[in-house]
Amino acid sequence: MDSNGEFYITTPIYYINDKPHIGHAYSTIVADTLARWREAQGERVIFSTGVDENAQKTVDAAKKSGEEIHAYVDRLADLWAGTWAKLGIGNTDFIRTTEERHLETVRDIWGRMEAAGDIYKGQYQGLYCRGHEAFMKEDELTPDGLCPDHKTKPELVTEENYFFRLSNYQQKLLDFYEAHGDFVAPAHRFNEVKAFVERGLEDISFSREKKEWGIPVPNDPSQVIYVWADALVNYVSVVGIEGWDEHPADIHVMAKDIVKFHAVIWPAMLMSAGLPLPGQVIATGFLTIDGTKMSKSLGNVVDPLDLAARYGADALRYFLLREVSFGDDGDFSEAKMRERYNADLANGLGNFAARVLTLAEKAEVKFGNLDGEFEEVIASTKRTVAEKLGVFRFSEALAAIWAALAFGDRFVNEKKVWEIKDEAARAKALFDLVSLLDNIAAMLAPFMPETSRTIAAAIRWDGDVLIAAKPEILFPRIK
């Protein structure tokens, strides 16, 4: 991955046929954590998320809610952007595919692919799943002919479409994968992608007969660009063609459902358009509820704003990043969330911070030399966090921070810090503890930005004298 002090990370742009659920929140929190981490390393970060408006399902949803389409998409775009703000997401851009900057970029890239001889007109017949906004192969359906994810019957569609010569790119993609051993993470997803491409690639339909919605094909207004061929381009629209040429996305974050679009079609489009490829495609598993995929179409959704309102946004971020091991599916249950909240946050982090700061407030703590063991714990925890974040093991990074917390807790208990009679000795012990807490707050910044700021703000130095502010209860216990 080339870096030159700049880091560009993206989430998928989400469909707006409904409001966000915690599956969407999870991908966005993962991307936010990586963005904040890189920013903490001093890099200039571009972090984009946004919405995919040009799908047929947008039209269906607007009709269903009885709203005029433009009013509907404006309302939903605001709702999505607003949700991310409430979850502590620090995206630097929010892209909508109805924006002029995007239309221009889509037309530009279409023109480049056409000039490369990769766009041609042909007859298409296929089984179209509206839920996926994609054609499906017969062997991908259930025995009774339904889409396995949406449990609906795909429609048989026959039309004249523009095609993209994906078949041209089989060898080029395989060569690229060979040269970029970490292009897709986790590795088993990469193996799936390689196996898929090795089986051979068919050209894909890149346009649809024009209905009422979508981006018209340049020079043929009777067709609109296939929503995926339009949506993927958003990543370029955010930085502009020249910006992308100089520095393409370092990381595209998503769940496993859309890896093929990002690791096969997208690189082929970029090769065709003569543009550089992204650094990495990273895929989480699915959050399930009672073992079933959560989706707008299935209607078993959990609202992240509701959880954030009751537990706090940082608690939701912590739970998702700690509970789910990266790349695997994770089952969400509120009982599990409450358990972790009380154990790790209320009794763990919150209690440790309150204990240390209450004692420190009552003592005269001076800045001094950090105890060797504390220094070692802090340094090794920082190394572990960096190492784990480099390979997206959020849960293990957090576990390492909690091990440092446990070290601090043990120290307080074993030394009975509150009972140390000698004032200088007690102040020294508290200097070590406050330093540990301060470092823990810094390490938590990418994961739990608000909590990190609150703790850091409670530890201020006036010259070499500590002014510990009265601690607030970070995580009130929940029954």
- Which residues make up the interface to ligand MSP (CB under 6 A)? 12-15, 23-24, 26-27, 52, 231-232, 234, 254-255, 257-258, 284, 286-287, 293-295
319 Ramachandran zone, left/alpha/beta (phi>0; psi -120 to 50): alpha
State in angstroms the smallest separation of the CB of 332 from ligand MSP.
Answer: 9
Nearer to ligand MSP, 205 or 234 (CB): 234
276 prior amide bond cis, ω within 30: no
Locate tokens 């809610």: which residue?
A: 65
State in angstroms the smallest separation of the CB of 317 from ligand MSP.
Answer: 15
Tell me how far apart the alpha carbons of residues 395 and 402 are, in angstroms, rounded to a whole number.
Answer: 10
Paired sense of beta strands 280-284 and 184-185, if any: parallel
Nearer to ligand MSP, 106 or 443 (CB): 106
Nearer to ligand MSP, 53 or 432 (CB): 53
Tell me how far apart the alpha carbons of residues 282 and 9 are, in angstroms, rounded to a whole number.
Answer: 11
State in angstroms the smallest separation of the CB of 60 from ligand MSP.
Answer: 14
State in angstroms the smallest separation of the CB of 427 from ligand MSP.
Answer: 48
Nearer to ligand MSP, 256 or 310 (CB): 256
Cα torsion angle, 279, 285, 287, 293, sign: positive
Cα–Cα distances in Å, from 74 out to 55, 67, 98, 106?
15, 11, 10, 21
Tell me how far apart the alpha carbons of residues 167 and 262 are, in angstroms, rounded to a whole number.
Answer: 16
CA nearest to 475, candidates 354, 391, 363? 354
State in angstroms the smallest separation of the CB of 116 from ligand MSP.
Answer: 21
Tell me how far apart the alpha carbons of residues 105 and 235 are, in angstroms, rounded to a whole number.
Answer: 10
β-strand partners of 204:
164
Nearer to ligand MSP, 15 or 411 (CB): 15
β-strand partners of 7:
45
State in angstroms the smallest separation of the CB of 239 from ligand MSP.
Answer: 15
Paired sense of beta strands 119-129 and 134-136, if any: antiparallel
Nearer to ligand MSP, 50 or 126 (CB): 50
Select the residue whose beta carbon is closest to ligand MSP and give its number: 23
State in angstroms the smallest separation of the CB of 243 from ligand MSP.
Answer: 17
Nearer to ligand MSP, 281 or 417 (CB): 281
